[in-house]
Amino acid sequence: MEKGVTPPRPDSRRVANLRTAAILASIAVVFFGGIVAAQYTGGTTVGIAVLGFAIIGFLAVAIGRSVRK
């Protein structure tokens, strides 16, 4: 390792990994919820609407996080 260069702290890497895991898990839960809702209502538009709102919501969160920094 070069002199004067400090490696990233393990705590910050762990926090970043946990944040990524939480985001991916929430995406899976929302998609699964959309599929279940579509099956219960019998229409495909409910599933598509849930997925559309999920995609827009996650994009809004991602853009909001990058603007805030």
The reported pLDDT for the residue numbered 14 is: 83
The reported pLDDT for the residue numbered 3 is: 67
Q: Is the pLDDT of residue 7 over 70?
A: no
What gap in Å lies between CA 50 and CA 57, rounded to an integer? 10
Domain ranges, ordered by start, for the chain: 11-68
Say what angle helices 44-68 and 10-41 make with each other, to 10 degrees: 160
**Residue in the block written with tokens 């598509």:** 48
pLDDT in tens, 34-66: 778 778 887 777 777 877 888 888 888 778 777
Cβ atoms of 58 and 27 closer than 8 Å: yes
Task: Quickly count: other Cβ atoms within 10 Å of residue 51's Cβ.
Answer: 16
pLDDT in tens, 15-27: 878 887 888 888 7
Question: Is pTM beyond 0.85 here?
Answer: no
